């Protein structure tokens, strides 16, 4: 039984007593309580026929489900990878415990914390029932849905932790899995259902949408509205979105548990080490570039000495991150480019009869911000903690470098690293520029010399540069917002790495802050008149998606100048995270072990 399992006792006691767990739980409960206070009706109760109570429940449980999904990786995705990072993983298997006992201890200690987290929200959820217009059975169903979601994705986090050796990678993969199954499962239904030769798979796209917990929750709260929008699911009550989600969660949990079991019992595969002697000759370099396997970046070529004017931290980080694994970089860049191309093509096909340029622009904005928000925190969240856990931070302290030199060197390297992935999705930017109505450039191909001659001739006319600015102003501003967002998320990860004890905690903390900036700051659009316009303006000023949407398609007209305020707020956040990271690093440099 797991209560007498020594691993369970150690993991559960350490997790329940840690300051991180207490902070997450208190923050989770306080946020839920604030949501109730903001949504509580002025009259106190609603009638059974009133839609106000349904609206309160929709917003409250939507926020509850989102917070649970954000916190699940912090409890489960570092369970095994933490042992690998601290070189204690092998020690587990030389004890008297069997592999299944180790697996049970890790499994139940992580899942139990997630279950406790969900159950702590039940009293606050019960307060919503006091408003009336909702049944206790519906509350039980939704709480059970959140519990099943937390457990299934918690098992996915354990599987990621068992297969990856770094906590940051495990957490990023866990968030990626949640984004695909909980957030992006509606994409096939939205992008493929109206394409002529794919309409025969319309039932499949609608069933794929039901695997999301948000879709199942919407069905429970608004069943009639859901049946009007979903043809397949509305044919009968035998198959419901709630039932489909529960069946998928069971299957998903079984697969995740199988991967976790296989990952924790498999032998550790050591990383491949490049064998051979280092060389410096150009002839050898050319020979290796022109013969199989055609080295673009040769791992055996001796690196040049770092120049005196260069930041040594920047050079080392570039060599270890960008040039150490070029295969991963090239594959990820290709994947981002292909995905951006496919999404824009499907949007055009789906809305070919009623396509508006604003539709493509909004899709481009969401895609670009999603790429940055998913990659940037994971890239920078281990910059300081990995130095500490690997024992090289002491060497940094022994060098004559200042803390700000270390911080700016690491930040500059990660910015170039993230910029490569942003540039790979610039096809989206080109599509947005193509949709602009313009008269400043002639028609024809840019590869034609006549085209360039015409451009040079037009550029000599008075007011031509002003017309170029007015035509492409919002594209240029959107690029600046994208770059500021990238720096914000990178400095957020750097700050999280400087104040956290390990990379897993830093990664989870940075992704929570990123989710607050990108998702939670959209709350004024949902709350409506429940909060003042000035307060809504301040909150929305931190959201890059809202700012880019305003400058792109002139939306959010109730908040004039929102994009200017967003650039100011993001700049303030960048400065705050940088100053805080430098001060924290300075403190670590001066603190004796």
pLDDT in tens, 42-62: 555 544 445 556 777 777 888
Q: Is residue 334 part of a domain?
A: yes
Quick one: average pLDDT of 17-30? Answer: 79
Whether 494 shows a pLDDT value over 80: the answer reads yes
Whether 273 shows a pLDDT value over 90: the answer reads no
Q: What is the rounded distance in angstroms from the CA atom of residue 523 to the CA atom of residue 525? A: 5
Q: Which residues span the domain enclosing 321?
A: 313-437+474-590
Give me the percent of the chain exceeding a pLDDT of 90: 7
Q: Give residue 321's pLDDT band: very low, low, confident or very high (50, 70, 90).
A: low
Position 251 scores a pLDDT of 94
Same domain, 415 and 486: yes
Q: Is residue 448 part of a domain?
A: no
Angle at 585 between CA 579 and CA 586, to 5 degrees: 90
Specify which of 175-189, 259-273, 488-502, 569-583 reaches the highest per-range mean pLDDT.
569-583
> Among the residues of 318-402, which ranges form H helices?
326-350, 357-380, 385-390, 393-398
Task: Provide DSSP, 155-211.
Answer: HHHHHHHHH-SSHHHHHHHHHHHHIIIIISTTHHHHHHTTSGGGGGGHHHHHHHHTT
Partners of 279 in the β-ladder? 301
Same domain, 88 and 211: yes
* 267 contacts: CB under 8 Å, gap ≥ 6: none
More confidently predicted of 18 and 164: 164
pLDDT in tens, 499-515: 887 777 788 788 888 88
* 436 contacts: CB under 8 Å, gap ≥ 6: 471, 472, 475
Nearest partner of 162 among 249, 268, 87, judged by Cα: 268
Quick one: average pLDDT of 454-467? Answer: 77
**3 state SS of 323:** coil
Whether 411 shows a pLDDT value over 80: the answer reads yes
- Is residue 556 left, alpha or beta, with left meaning phi > 0 and alpha meaning psi from -120 to 50? left
| Burial of 555: CB neighbours in 10 Å, binned 0-12, 13-18, 19+ | middle
Q: Give residue 113's pLDDT band: very low, low, confident or very high (50, 70, 90).
A: confident
Kindly state the DSSP code that residue 461 receives in the 8-state scheme.
S
Q: Domain total for the chain?
A: 3
Same domain, 253 and 349: no
More confidently predicted of 343 and 525: 525
Nearest partner of 209 among 175, 234, 233, judged by Cα: 233
Q: Is residue 450 part of a domain?
A: no
pLDDT in tens, 90-100: 777 777 777 77
Q: What is the rounded distance in angstroms from the CA atom of residue 353 to the CA atom of residue 306? A: 58
More confidently predicted of 576 and 105: 576
Instruction: Please answer whether residues 68 and 118 qualify as being in contact, where contact means their C-beta atoms are separated by less than 8 angstroms.
Output: yes
Quick one: average pLDDT of 381-405? Answer: 82
Q: Is residue 5 part of a domain?
A: no
The span from the first CA to the last CA of the chain, in angstroms, equals 40
How many Cβ atoms from other residues are within 10 Å of residue 82's Cβ? 21
pLDDT in tens, 295-317: 555 555 556 666 677 788 887 77
Q: What is the phi/psi pair of residue 576, to 5°?
A: -65, -50
pTM above 0.75, yes or no: yes
Q: Is residue 534 part of a domain?
A: yes
**3 state SS of 447:** coil
How many Cβ atoms from other residues are within 10 Å of residue 421's Cβ? 21
Same domain, 379 and 287: no
Angle at 59 between CA 54 and CA 61, to 5 degrees: 90
* 132 contacts: CB under 8 Å, gap ≥ 6: 45, 46, 47, 48, 50, 53
Quick one: average pLDDT of 64-74? Answer: 83
Q: Is residue 404 part of a domain?
A: yes
Same domain, 48 and 196: yes
pLDDT in tens, 174-211: 888 888 888 778 777 766 666 666 667 777 777 888 88
Position 148 scores a pLDDT of 92
pLDDT in tens, 143-181: 899 999 988 998 998 888 888 887 778 888 888 888 888
Same domain, 175 and 210: yes
Same domain, 104 and 143: yes
Whether 220 shows a pLDDT value over 80: the answer reads yes
Instruction: Please answer whether residues 35 and 56 qualify as being in contact, where contact means their C-beta atoms are separated by less than 8 angstroms.
Output: no
Q: What is the rounded distance in angstroms from the CA atom of residue 90 to the CA atom of residue 358? A: 55
Q: Is residue 570 part of a domain?
A: yes
Same domain, 78 and 205: yes
Same domain, 529 and 583: yes
Angle at 341 between CA 338 and CA 345, to 5 degrees: 140
Same domain, 284 and 351: no
| Burial of 22: CB neighbours in 10 Å, binned 0-12, 13-18, 19+ | exposed
Instruction: Please answer whether residues 132 and 45 qualify as being in contact, where contact means their C-beta atoms are separated by less than 8 angstroms.
Output: yes
Mean pLDDT (the chain) is 77
Position 254 scores a pLDDT of 93
Angle at 69 between CA 55 and CA 115, to 5 degrees: 100
Q: Is residue 463 part of a domain?
A: no
With both helix axes pointing from N to C terminus, report the angle between 167-178 and 357-380 in degrees, rounded to the nearest 10.
160
Same domain, 203 and 124: yes
Q: What is the rounded distance in angstroms from the CA atom of residue 360 to the CA atom of residue 354? A: 12
Specify which of 20-24, 54-58, 252-256, 307-311 reaches the highest per-range mean pLDDT.
252-256
Position 47 scores a pLDDT of 47
Cα torsion for 483, 485, 489, 494, to the nearest 10°? 50
Angle at 322 between CA 316 and CA 326, to 5 degrees: 135
pLDDT in tens, 555-574: 777 888 888 899 999 999 99
Same domain, 67 and 119: yes
Position 49 scores a pLDDT of 43
- In order of 191, 233, 245, 375, the CA distances from 216 in angstroms are 20, 12, 7, 29
How many Cβ atoms from other residues are within 10 Å of residue 39's Cβ? 21
Partners of 67 in the β-ladder? none
């Amino acid at each position: 039984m797991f209560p007498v399992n020594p691993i369970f006792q150690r993991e559960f006691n350490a997790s329940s007593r840690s300051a991180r767990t207490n902070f997450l739980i208190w923050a989770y409960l306080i946020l839920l309580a604030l949501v109730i206070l903001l949504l509580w009706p002025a009259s106190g109760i609603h009638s059974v026929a009133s839609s106000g109570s349904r609206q309160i429940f929709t917003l409250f449980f939507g926020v509850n489900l989102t917070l649970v999904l954000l916190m699940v990786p912090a409890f489960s995705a570092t369970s095994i990878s933490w042992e690998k990072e601290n070189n204690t993983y092998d020690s587990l298997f030389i004890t008297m415990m069997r592999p299944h006992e180790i697996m049970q201890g890790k499994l139940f200690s992580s899942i139990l914390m997630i279950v406790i987290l969900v159950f702590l929200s039940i009293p606050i959820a019960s307060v919503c029932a006091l408003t009336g217009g909702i049944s206790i059975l519906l509350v039980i169903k939704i709480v059970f849905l959140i519990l099943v979601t937390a457990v299934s994705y918690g098992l996915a986090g354990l599987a990621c932790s068992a297969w990856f050796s770094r906590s940051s990678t495990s957490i990023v993969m866990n968030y990626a899995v949640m984004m695909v199954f909980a957030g992006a499962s509606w994409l096939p239904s939205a992008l493929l259902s109206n394409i002529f030769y794919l309409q025969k798979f319309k039932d499949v796209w609608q069933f794929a949408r039901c695997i999301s917990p948000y879709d199942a929750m919407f069905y429970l709260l608004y069943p009639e509205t859901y049946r009007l929008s979903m043809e397949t699911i509305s044919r009968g009550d035998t198959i419901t979105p709630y039932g489909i989600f529960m069946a998928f969660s069971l299957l998903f949990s079984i697969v995740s548990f199988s991967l976790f079991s296989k990952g924790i019992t498999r032998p550790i595969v050591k990383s491949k080490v490049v064998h051979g002697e280092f060389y410096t000759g150009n002839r050898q370099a050319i020979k290796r570039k022109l013969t199989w396997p055609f080295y673009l970046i040769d791992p055996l070529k001796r690196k040049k000495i770092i120049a005196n004017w260069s930041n040594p931290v920047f050079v080392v980080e570039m060599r270890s991150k960008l040039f150490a694994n070029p295969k991963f970089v090239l594959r990820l860049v290709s994947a981002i480019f292909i995905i951006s191309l496919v999404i824009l093509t499907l949007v055009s096909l789906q809305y070919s009869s009623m396509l508006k340029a604003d539709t493509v622009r909004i899709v481009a904005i969401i895609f670009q911000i999603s790429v940055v928000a998913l990659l940037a925190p994971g890239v920078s969240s281990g910059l300081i903690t990995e130095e500490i856990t690997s024992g090289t931070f002491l060497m940094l302290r022994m060098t004559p470098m200042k803390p700000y030199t270390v911080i700016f060197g690491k930040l500059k390297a990660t910015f170039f690293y993230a910029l490569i992935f942003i540039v790979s999705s610039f096809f989206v930017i080109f599509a947005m520029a193509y949709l602009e109505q313009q008269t400043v450039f002639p028609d024809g191909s840019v590869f034609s010399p006549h085209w360039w001659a015409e451009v040079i001739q037009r550029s000599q006319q008075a007011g031509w540069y002003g017309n170029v600015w007015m035509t492409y102003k919002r594209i240029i501003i959107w690029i600046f917002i994208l770059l500021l967002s990238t720096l914000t998320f990178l400095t957020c990860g750097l700050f999280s790495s400087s104040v956290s004890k390990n990379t897993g905690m830093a990664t989870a903390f940075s992704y929570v802050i990123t989710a607050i900036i990108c998702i939670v700051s959209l709350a004024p659009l949902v709350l409506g008149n429940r909060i003042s316009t000035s307060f809504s303006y301040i909150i929305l000023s931190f959201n890059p998606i809202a700012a880019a949407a305003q400058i792109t398609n002139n939306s959010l007209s109730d908040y004039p100048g929102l994009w200017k305020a967003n650039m100011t707020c993001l700049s303030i956040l960048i400065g705050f995270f940088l100053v805080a990271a430098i001060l924290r690093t300075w403190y670590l440099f001066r603190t004796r072990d």
